């Protein structure tokens, strides 16, 4: 025991980390299960009854959220398990691919919401011409172009504007140039 009265030997960090892991696991399991169930249900309903452009956009959004559900919680839980964390950060390419998948799925969800909002705005402002403007083919084409644009921007941001450096035994991503970092910060 030291002079201040704090008994530092009684603090067991692995036990505290295990407790935090159990709390996260307790919280993540219902969230993951409900996300997978809800998104798969939306995809099934849209695949069966694909009559409206809004329904197709919601199906695409459900698919992108399902992709985010597959990557996000797994990597968050992997940071608490020592063997998994070293596996995900052992090689810079693995870390880069994981970050690319997470960032791309989040950006795709955001831009799909923008497309849905635009489609709803057109339905409100031009109710008689919206059937001619927003056909199913145009909506699918707009979503494909949105997906390609988001993937290209994420690719440029991660693979061309960033570099790796080993810091305290782990690989870390940092930006090569300040002006490139400022440009890609907004995407």
Residue 175: CA count within 13 A, CB half-sphere:
11
Task: Give the pLDDT confidence score for residue 178 in this predicted structure.
Answer: 53
Encode the chain (187 residues) as per-residue pLDDT tens digits: 455 555 555 555 666 767 777 777 788 888 888 989 999 999 899 888 867 888 888 888 898 888 888 877 777 666 666 666 666 666 666 777 777 777 888 888 888 888 888 888 888 888 887 777 777 788 778 888 888 888 887 777 776 666 666 666 666 666 565 555 455 554 4
Task: Give the pLDDT confidence score for residue 41 in this predicted structure.
Answer: 93
**43 in Cβ contact with 62 (< 8 Å):** yes
Task: Give the pLDDT confidence score for residue 37 in this predicted structure.
Answer: 93
Residue with tokens 């995407």: 187
Q: What is the spatial distance between Cα 42 and Cα 63, in angstroms, rounded to a whole number?
A: 9
Q: What is the spatial distance between Cα 165 and Cα 177, in angstroms, rounded to a whole number?
A: 14
Buried b (16+ CB within 10 A) or exposed e, 83-99: eeeeebbeebeebbebb
Q: What is the spatial distance between Cα 19 and Cα 41, in angstroms, rounded to a whole number?
A: 33
pTM, full prediction: 0.66
Residue with tokens 């985010």: 68
Query: Architecture of domain 13-161 in CATH?
Result: Up-down Bundle (1.20)
Task: Give the pLDDT confidence score for residue 38 in this predicted structure.
Answer: 92
Task: Give the pLDDT confidence score for residue 21 in this predicted structure.
Answer: 72
Q: Give the 3-state secondary structure of residue 50.
A: coil
Q: What is the spatial distance between Cα 54 and Cα 117, in angstroms, rounded to a whole number?
A: 10
DSSP state of 49: -
């Amino acid at each position: 025991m030291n002079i201040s009265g704090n008994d530092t030997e009684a603090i067991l960090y692995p036990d505290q980390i295990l407790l935090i892991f159990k709390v996260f696991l307790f919280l993540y399991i219902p969230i993951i299960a409900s996300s997978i169930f809800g998104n798969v249900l939306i995809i099934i309903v849209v695949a069966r009854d694909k009559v409206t452009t809004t329904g197709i956009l919601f199906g695409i959004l459900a698919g992108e959220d399902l992709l985010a559900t597959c990557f996000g919680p797994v990597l968050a839980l992997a940071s608490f398990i020592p063997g998994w964390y070293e596996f995900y950060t052992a090689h810079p390419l693995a870390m880069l691919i994981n970050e690319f998948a997470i960032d791309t799925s989040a950006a795709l969800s955001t831009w799909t919401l923008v497309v849905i909002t635009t489609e709803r705005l057109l339905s409100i402002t031009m109710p008689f011409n919206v059937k001619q403007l927003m056909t199913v083919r145009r909506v699918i084409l707009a979503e494909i172009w949105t997906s390609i644009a988001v993937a290209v921007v994420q690719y440029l941001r991660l693979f061309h504007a960033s570099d790796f450096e080993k810091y305290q035994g782990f690989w870390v991503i940092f930006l090569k140039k300040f002006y490139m970092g400022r440009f890609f910060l907004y995407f």
